[in-house]
């Protein structure tokens, strides 16, 4: 009896064949399709996991691939590292580049978004007085990276507020634009804000920033393989994402993309002088790492492609809207996430008169629903993140729990 069922992608693929003709919108509401996808995950029956924003469980096929890779690579370890690893990495990079819609010469495999972003934030030649723009809804580690640069190099971190529920794109673009001065060098842009799920109009913000000569670094931890786009379409200069979130790879996989013309100006975090300064491989001298994680990425990409990026995006948005639409008008409940296409799978709600932690604790202790409390100055609420394996029953349980807590 295999440990993980179904054991192969072929089995999943066969199960999905009857749905081949359905468009993404229809598929997003076709529970029989998602019942098949659910079989590809092994999840604990002990509680309802609606905190898939931290990281994603791997589908069984990817987990199986990881186990195979650990065994296979371990058999010849040093030989693999010396003779095979570089070629295999290149295969993975090519596949990732294809998924990301950019040249492989712009791609670095990293361990996570934090590492990808750090390479850029610490590799920029910033000097005292230079200014960097960020918001109070950006991810804490990125804000810390910039604060460190402030201590070390004397740059100025300009932290702005952006609306939780914007009227339109222009309101957001204008908030960033107001912060730009002649000293601004770089703008940090979180494509999908992790605490609320809001999707920012990346292209418009990047175009505006470029019109002032300001570069943009995009934190795409949550948007990559969650929303459908090619990296160049976002219009940024530097891009970092984690693959263990929505691409569902094993933990410890990330991507850094740097526009070709910008590679030269970023110093690698780890010394590397043997590679030309405009060659992306200068970022690859990072020491020994768990290579099996990288080797399992292709299986995760196959799984993602088999579902289809568009179907995945539509399903995640459908699940989010399913529960938010049912609690939206509940007395004392408020939503911190915009409606419509300004959000996808992630959303955040609060209950007036109760702290986020109280609500998250009640959800877990009383209803066995796992979420996460967000208690920041800019955002107070509970983040809810369903996944492809989430059932409508799970969401109905959430909706009735929220209504009871608010009552």
Ligand X SMILES: Cc1ncc(COP(=O)(O)O)c(C=O)c1O
Between residues 49 and 112, which has the closer beta carbon with respect to ligand X? 112
Q: d(Cα 156, Cα 5) in Å, to the nearest integer?
A: 53
Interaction between residue 194 and ligand X (CB under 6 A):
yes
Exactly one of 49, 56, 69, 114 binds ligand X (CB under 6 A); that residue is: 114
Within 8 A by CB and 6+ apart from 332, the residues are 351, 352, 353, 406
Minimum CB separation from ligand X for residue 23, in Å? 30
Interface residue with ligand X among 134, 221, 225, 258 (CB under 6 A) is 221
Question: How near is the Cβ of 148 to ligand X at its closest, in Å?
Answer: 16
Which range binds ligand X by CB under 6 A, 16-24, 43-51, 110-118, 349-357?
110-118
Q: Are 301 and 61 in contact (CB under 8 A)?
A: no
| Helical packing angle, 297-307 and 60-75, nearest 10° | 160
Binds ligand X by CB under 6 A, chosen from 93, 222, 383, 387 = 222
Options 56, 58, 112, 337; binder of ligand X; rule CB under 6 A: 112
Are the C-beta atoms of residues 253 and 293 closer than 8 Å to each other?
A: yes
Residues numbered 118 to 177 that lie near ligand X (CB under 6 A) are: 139, 141
Q: Which is nearer to ligand X, 222 or 315 (CB)?
A: 222
CB contact at 8 A, 253 and 56: no
CB of 221 to ligand X, least distance (A): 3
Contact flag: residue 219 with ligand X (CB under 6 A): yes
Q: How far is the CB of 141 from ligand X (least distance, A)?
A: 6
Does position 223 interact with ligand X (CB under 6 A)? The reply is: no
User: CB-wise, 12 or 248, nearer to ligand X?
Assistant: 248
Which C-beta is closer to ligand X: that of 113 or that of 390? 113
Q: Which of 56, 60, 190, 293 binds ligand X (CB under 6 A)?
A: 190
Q: Which residues contact 109 (CB under 8 A, 6 or more apart)?
A: 89, 92, 93, 96, 253, 254, 255, 284, 294
CA distance 156 to 146: 9
Which of 136, 186, 131, 134 minimizes the C-alpha distance to 153?
131
Rounded to an integer, what distance in angstroms lies between the CA atom of residue 204 and that of residue 213? 14
Contact call for residue 371 and ligand X (CB under 6 A): no
* Contact between 110 and ligand X per CB under 6 A: no
Determine the size of the site formed for ligand X (CB under 6 A).
11
Instruction: Please identify, using beta-carbon distances, which residue of 69 and 113 lies nearer to ligand X.
Output: 113
Among positions 52, 65, 113, 137, the unique one binding ligand X when judged by CB under 6 A: 113
Using the minimum distance from each CB to ligand X, give the nearer residue, 62 or 114.
114
How many Å apart are CA 407 and CA 405, to the nearest integer? 6
Interface stretch with ligand X, choices 175-183, 215-223, 326-334, 365-373 (CB under 6 A): 215-223
Residues that bind ligand X (CB under 6 A): 112-114, 139, 141, 190, 194, 219, 221-222, 242
């Amino acid at each position: 009896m295999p440990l993980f069922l179904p054991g192969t992608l072929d089995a999943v693929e066969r199960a999905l064949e009857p749905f081949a003709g359905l468009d993404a919108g229809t598929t997003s509401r076709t529970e029989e399709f998602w019942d098949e996808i659910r079989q590809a995950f092994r999840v604990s029956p002990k509680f309802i996991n609606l905190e898939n924003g931290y990281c994603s469980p791997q589908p069984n096929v990817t987990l199986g691939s990881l186990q195979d890779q650990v065994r296979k690579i371990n058999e010849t370890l040093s030989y693999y590292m010396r003779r095979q690893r570089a070629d295999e990495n290149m295969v993975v990079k090519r596949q990732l580049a294809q998924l990301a819609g950019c040249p492989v010469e712009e791609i670095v495999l990293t361990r996570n978004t934090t590492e990808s972003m750090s390479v850029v934030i610490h590799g920029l030649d910033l000097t005292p007085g230079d200014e960097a723009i960020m918001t109070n809804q950006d991810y804490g580690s990125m804000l810390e990276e910039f604060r460190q640069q402030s201590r070390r190099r004397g740059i100025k971190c300009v932290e702005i507020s952006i609306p939780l529920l914007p009227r339109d794109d222009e309101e957001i673009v204008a908030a960033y634009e107001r912060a730009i001065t002649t000293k601004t060098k770089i703008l940090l842009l979180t494509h999908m804000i992790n605490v609320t799920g809001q999707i920012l109009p990346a292209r418009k913000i990047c175009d505006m920033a470029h019109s002032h000569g300001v570069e943009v670094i995009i934190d795409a931890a949550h948007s990559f393989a969650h929303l459908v786009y090619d990296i160049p379409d976002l219009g940024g200069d530097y891009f970092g994402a984690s693959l263990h979130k929505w691409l569902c790879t094993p933990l410890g996989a990330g991507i850094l993309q740097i526009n070709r013309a910008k590679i030269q100006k970023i110093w690698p975090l780890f010394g590397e002088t043997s590679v030309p300064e405009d060659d992306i491989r200068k970022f690859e001298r990072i020491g020994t790492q768990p290579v099996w994680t990288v080797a399992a990425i292709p299986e995760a990409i196959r799984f993602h492609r088999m579902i289809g990026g568009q179907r995945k995006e539509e399903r995640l948005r459908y699940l989010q809207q399913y529960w938010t639409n049912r609690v939206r008008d509940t007395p004392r409940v408020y939503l911190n996430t915009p409606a419509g296409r300004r959000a996808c799978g992630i959303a955040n709600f609060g209950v007036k008169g109760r702290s986020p932690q109280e609500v998250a604790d009640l959800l877990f202790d009383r209803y066995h629903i796992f979420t996460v409390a967000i208690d920041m100055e800019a955002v107070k609420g509970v983040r809810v993140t369903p996944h492809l394996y989430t059932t409508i029953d799970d969401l109905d349980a959430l909706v009735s729990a929220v209504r009871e807590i608010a009552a």
